[in-house]
Structure 1
Amino acid sequence: MGNLQSLLPYAPAIGAISLLFAVYLAGKVSKADPGTETMVKISGYIADGAMSFLRKQYTAIAVFVVVVFLVLGLLLPANSWQTAICFLVGALSSAAAGFFGMKVATKANVRTTQAARSSQNAALGIAFSGGAVMGMCVTGLGLLGLGILYMIFREPTIVNGFAMGGSSIALFGRVGGGIYTKAADVGADLVGKVEAGLPEDDPRNPATIADNVGDNVGDVAGMGSDLFESYVGSIVSAMTLGVLALGFDGILLPLIIAATGILASIIGTFFVRTDEDSNPLKALNLGTTVANVLFLVAAFFAVRVITPGQPGLFWAILGGMIAGTLIGFITQYYTAAEYKPTQGIAKAATTGPATVIIEGLGVGMFSTFIPVILICAAIILAFVTGGLYGIALAAVGMLATTGMVVAVDAYGPIADNAGGIAEMTPELPESVRETTDKLDAVGNTTAAIGKGFAIGSAALTALALMAAYAQVAGIKSIDILNPWVIVGLLIGGMLPFFFCAMTMGAVGRAAGKMVEEVRRQFREIKGLLDGTATADYVRCVEISTSAAIREMIAPGLLAIIAPILVGFGFSLVDAGAEALGGMLAGSIVSGVCLAIMLANSGGAWDNAKKHIEEGNYGGKNSPAHAAAVEGDTVGDPCKDTAGPSLNILLKLMSIVSLVFVAPFL
């Protein structure tokens, strides 16, 4: 062990390297040309709206963080203040990753537009660098925080607080960002596109700026927080199970595995290059492939050095990575316009919005089959080769190259914003919009892949966290014939549906206010539709902001309160541990399937609309297009609010059970 102890500082050191690389990329983006005065002005609107929202959101969340910090410090039976400190550091780290990542993303959008005036490769380089800042902040802050806290406290159960802090911020960030962006998107689509017949990102549409702001707060900051808590949660669960299975070696291995993933991701970013005639997706896939191959080579040697008596652990790691990659490609098949499922939805649009919605729901439900089988295969392989610890390592393997995954995903909203700025800048040549549209189309595909990846990682991470909870709570098995367990299973199976009802209802209410405001401006601002007057963009931003802050509270609290109520409530009949274990199992089963269905239905509806806009089935402004827009509007809260937020719900309930409830049972 003595020699292996010397490897421990390398984990936080490589986390620091990730942050330094993020600083380098941020400098590269800042030095790029921001373009014309009009472009800078439009970008300023987007940046101001995004940062204003984030400041208000974090101010509201700060109250929650302080309350939980005090509760942890005062109520936990052991190591209370140490756990509370870890919680606070985790919350601050997650918030910092979102803040810095979005700050750079709102700089990168206009610079991507300007770079598109010269070449596709230049535009891709700026957009990808902006996304990579988010990716490197997520992994850097996650591993640096975990490594330092473990070196200080030397106890995985204390460091669990760090994961809980990250998960708490992530849920509020995902829900709040999702409500914001979809309220703006729905208002812009239903009134601007369907009723007024305006094109995408038309400056005459009052909700356009709010829509572009939403891309950042939902798909950059929110998505980054989502994968931050997945990344941290997978490592923490592996550390908790590893100390029971292999002692210090079991703690060290996931930290070093994560460190090698960071280095592989950094190297992979240098392979993302293209030319004018190439598909940008190939460049992004090459960078991802390079990162994955390098990581697997490094992981093979890490297992041999740190756990030489457990060579099978490498197969658990490999299985997790393969499952995550395949789930991403399966998601692409069910959501991309190049394939039959989405084309079938586009064809259904010729008979009206009802058939669009029916076909989309069917595609989403059917798309759960293969991903669930892949997750099952990864679980079985991991358990056979490494037991419960192997399942946790499979989650670590799936998430080790999170830096590259987030970079590719966050690239999408930057390219989307770049296209919006190009549309709102009349002096730019049409070729600029063509280039940004090409980048944005790839961004839609990478976003769908990223959502599938996040769902797959959520399933493995939540299962590993549940296993860690069972170990700490002293549960050897969960008997499904036990009536208390059955009740827990049913409650857990219901919670994802209840949570989705809350988040989708929030989007509906916020979107209704946005629709009314856009209609009001079209009606009252004379000359707006003629292009001779300017829309009141600020009012639309304010509507989305206030609705998101107000509506995110209840869904966020549900994830904290539900496991505590079940655990302590059933402890009155001496069944708290088993009932809570059943609740966690039930939530994973229903939550994973529901998340896949919502994400894929929403993505397919979105790309079916884009398939029609390319000239199929009548093209833009046709009856089929109007039907597809309505289907896309239904899908917006599915794929960008409720679906992605479910990933965090599952993991946060597990980590709350591990931190709050297990010590009392």
Structure 2
Amino acid sequence: MNFTFWAPLAGVVALFFAFYLANRINSVSAGNKTMEEIAHAIHEGAMAFLFREYKTLVVFVAALAAVIFVAGIMTHGAESLQPETAVAFVIGAICSVLAGYIGMNVATKANVRTANAAQESANKALGIAFSGGAVMGMSVVGLGLVGLGIVTFLFDNPNVVNGFALGASSIALFGRVGGGIYTKAADVGADLVGKVEAGIPEDDPRNPAVIADNVGDNVGDVAGMGADLFESYVGSIIAGMALAVSLGLGRNGIILPLLIAAAGILASIIGTFFVKTDEGANAAKALSMGTLVASILSVIATYFLTTNLLPATGKVTGMGVFIATVAGLIAGVSIGKITEYYTSGDFNPVKEIAKASQTGTATNIIAGIAIGMVSTAAPVIVTVIAILIAFKFAGLYGIALAAVGMLSTTGMVVAVDAYGPIADNAGGIAEMSHLDPKVRKITDALDAVGNTTAAIGKGFAIGSAALTALALFSAYTTAAGITNIDLLNPAVVAGLFIGGMLPYLFSAMTMQAVGRAAFDMIEEVRRQFKTIPGLMEGKAKPDYANCVRISTGAALREMILPGLLAVIAPIFVGLMPGLGKEALGGLLAGALVSGFLLAIMMANAGGAWDNAKKYIEAGNYGGKGSQAHAAAVSGDTVGDPFKDTSGPSINILIKLMTIVSLVFAPLFM
């Protein structure tokens, strides 16, 4: 039986399901005129940023495509780089752009409908917010498999398909960095001046940065996050396909990652129907039920696929690959639960940070950094166990399939993650529209769950990045003809140190970018409070548009240099006399280890700081307006670029450098 078209067909099914959900959301009432006006401002700001960002990226994509095309001509006949790779690169970039556009377009329409639905019931609000997130999830997996299917059909050369992953990774990095800078500049300005200095509530319409803050939730946590997991998703599949070619596993071994992903799409669609709850029940349990159902169905489908497509005996067996794949899936779920423990207000780590806030900002920050550092231990152990099990039962191919297994239910994972920003926006719209306080209470409850699901999503993305990068690293060493990474070779050690340094340099660049952008935002918010008569009394409207302009300009300006670093560094080391392909192998290994740890630390510390603030706002340790609350707001402000800019961008950095190395491997021979 020819299974080649099953994967893109599953992608088409996902896109049709996304279209169905989008139509269902649009059919729901958006509420009164004030709500519609606020939602329109958020939608317009988000889409305007996205269009300007993509216009900027067109130049980058065109330039890098030209470089790949010319390099492909120069090395024509080489196994890994051909001119057609440039076409695959452009298709990958386009699919990533489309996923971000579709997801954010629907998310910025679902937010106001979630707020309006909360006037009727919490369950109806949950349904709309989750459906909005599911559109993003289904767009990611649908366009991923459709795009891969197109590239595979056009070229039927797994080495050319590597370009698709490079296109996805390039857009993802700029999307994550640009979106992260935008959202955190607005968030920091809104919190420090509005909540701390002016003493007004969160999402108060008097705050000039409030619209930019709500726009930022979408460009950072919906479009940026979607591009991130789109890149992980296709990267893991392509790594599996590339290793199947190098290990001589035949046609079935090559298409197996695609089919596991296709089964995961169907499992995720079924799982969405289990996300429902009775009025007053826990939304977290409803979301967990959908994820659990999708995971179980994905495991069952994977068993049938692996045992039927691969031999029962030999070096790589069907059962061995099944065990490796399930090890990856279990690792992904485990990392999510570990992340939940360290970032949820229901557990001790967050409560410890809240307690430390009683003695000021310094102790809050010390506690947050310590929690972030200690939170790296368990995910590393889980990842190491998954790697060892996968390698024992299926070798390098098993490691790649462990990453595919972890990401097989990406449709559901993204849906649960993207639900959070929609619920957050709904709360902001309810506050700005002066709806009944019970509406804000419902949206805050949904948002609190969303904060935890967002933290889990980041942990999941980082864990999957480690396995995906390791699989791509194995594919690179094979393509470059490297049999081992010798730590007694000075060039390898030099590369190892450079690679270990790069995530720190990258993080410094992105955090400094947030700092510069936030400074401009803070000055603007202060200016408006001082110069607009009647603003604090609610008798005048702030200039929201100017704050949106500041965030947009800063994000587009500041995202370029960090993005170029990820592309230039591996090519420079690979071509540099005295370094070369072995040193590049060391660079990738160093970046993988230090980047994985740093990303987990920053993401979890940021999430814990955020929920420590919310724990105090719930009435603990003096509640809102207390000294502990002021310290927690400052800690959360430090954590914002940790968890929403630098941390989640690092996992794209390590994958992008690896896929750049894989694509350009012939140049380093």
Interval containing the TM-score (normalised by the shorter chain): over 0.9
Instruction: Encode CA deviations 1:497-544: one digit per residue, 9 max, x unaligned.
Output: 000000000000000000000000000001111111101000000000
Separation in 2, partners of 1:388, 1:334: 32
Partner amino acid, structure 2, of 1:37: K
Separation in 2, partners of 1:197, 1:501: 31
Counterpart check, 1:38 vs 2:38: no
Q: Which shows bigger deviation, 255-264 or 146-155? A: 146-155
Aligned to 2:210: 208
Instruction: Report the CA distance between 1:639 and its aligned residue.
Output: 0.3
Partner amino acid, structure 2, of 1:402: T
- Give % identity: 65
Instruction: Encode CA deviations 1:5-46: one digit per residue, 9 max, x unaligned.
Output: x11111111111111111111101111111000000000010
Given candidates 284, 288, 297, the residue that maps to 1:285 is 288
Separation in 1, partners of 2:83, 2:527: 53
- Report SS of the residue matched to 2:225: helix
For residues 228-627 of structure 1, the aligned pairs below 5 Å read 228-245=230-247, 246-309=249-312, 310=317, 311-426=319-434, 428-569=435-576, 572-573=577-578, 575-627=579-631
Given candidates 177, 180, 202, the residue that maps to 1:178 is 180
- Report SS of the residue matched to 2:624: coil
Separation in 2, partners of 1:610, 1:661: 48
Instruction: Report the CA distance between 1:75 and its aligned residue.
Output: 1.3
Instruction: Report the CA distance between 1:663 and its aligned residue.
Output: 4.6
Separation in 2, partners of 1:34, 1:308: 55
Separation in 1, partners of 2:562, 2:59: 16
Counterpart check, 1:158 vs 2:160: yes
- Gaps (5+ residues) in structure 1? none
Instruction: Report the CA distance between 1:391 and its aligned residue.
Output: 0.3
Q: Relative to structure 1, is the Cα distance of residues 662 and 588 closer, same or farther in structure 2, using a 3 angstrom cutoff? A: farther
Separation in 1, partners of 2:349, 2:436: 35
The answer as to whether partners of 2:228 and 2:652 remain within 8 angstroms in 1 is yes
Separation in 1, partners of 2:28, 2:87: 39
The answer as to whether partners of 2:14 and 2:141 remain within 8 angstroms in 1 is yes
Instruction: Encode CA deviations 1:455-501: one digit per residue, 9 max, x unaligned.
Output: 10000000000000001111111011111110000000000000000
Aligned to 1:167: 169
- Report SS of the residue matched to 1:8: coil
Given candidates 644, 647, 657, the residue that maps to 1:643 is 647
Instruction: Report the CA distance between 1:82 and its aligned residue.
Output: 1.0
The answer as to whether partners of 2:177 and 2:645 remain within 8 angstroms in 1 is yes
Separation in 1, partners of 2:154, 2:13: 20
Separation in 2, partners of 1:72, 1:148: 19
TM-score normalised by structure 1 residue count: 0.98
- Report SS of the residue matched to 2:83: helix
The answer as to whether partners of 1:472 and 1:663 remain within 8 angstroms in 2 is no
Counterpart check, 1:9 vs 2:17: no
Instruction: Encode CA deviations 1:583-630: one digit per residue, 9 max, x unaligned.
Output: 000000000000000001101111110011011111001111001100
Partner amino acid, structure 1, of 2:43: A
The answer as to whether partners of 2:580 and 2:668 remain within 8 angstroms in 1 is no
Moved over 2 A (4+): 78-81, 661-664
- Report SS of the residue matched to 2:144: helix
Instruction: Report the CA distance between 1:244 and its aligned residue.
Output: 2.3
Partner amino acid, structure 2, of 1:376: V
Partner amino acid, structure 2, of 1:173: G
Partner amino acid, structure 1, of 2:614: K
Instruction: Encode CA deviations 1:323-366: one digit per residue, 9 max, x unaligned.
Output: 01010110110111111111111111111101111110000000
TM-align CA RMSD: 0.8
- Report SS of the residue matched to 2:482: coil
Q: Which shows bigger deviation, 305-314 or 647-656? A: 305-314
- Report SS of the residue matched to 1:272: coil
Separation in 1, partners of 2:397, 2:545: 51
Partner amino acid, structure 1, of 2:635: G
For residues 189-228 of structure 1, the aligned pairs below 5 Å read 189-228=191-230
- Gaps (5+ residues) in structure 2? none
Aligned to 1:70: 66
Instruction: Report the CA distance between 1:80 and its aligned residue.
Output: 3.0
Partner amino acid, structure 2, of 1:626: A
Counterpart check, 1:655 vs 2:659: yes
- Report SS of the residue matched to 1:276: coil
Separation in 1, partners of 2:191, 2:436: 25
The answer as to whether partners of 1:493 and 1:583 remain within 8 angstroms in 2 is yes
Partner amino acid, structure 2, of 1:66: A
Partner amino acid, structure 2, of 1:270: F
Instruction: Encode CA deviations 1:210-246: one digit per residue, 9 max, x unaligned.
Output: 0000000000000000000000000000000012221
Q: Which shows bigger deviation, 311-320 or 654-663? A: 654-663
Instruction: Report the CA distance between 1:664 and its aligned residue.
Output: 3.6
Separation in 2, partners of 1:87, 1:663: 17
Separation in 2, partners of 1:354, 1:430: 34
Instruction: Report the CA distance between 1:150 and its aligned residue.
Output: 1.0
The answer as to whether partners of 1:243 and 1:249 remain within 8 angstroms in 2 is no
Separation in 1, partners of 2:581, 2:253: 25
Separation in 2, partners of 1:29, 1:469: 44
Instruction: Report the CA distance between 1:308 and its aligned residue.
Output: 2.9
Separation in 2, partners of 1:208, 1:517: 12
Separation in 1, partners of 2:591, 2:293: 35
Matched residue pairs, number?
Answer: 657
Separation in 1, partners of 2:326, 2:82: 37
The answer as to whether partners of 1:130 and 1:414 remain within 8 angstroms in 2 is yes
The answer as to whether partners of 2:479 and 2:665 remain within 8 angstroms in 1 is no
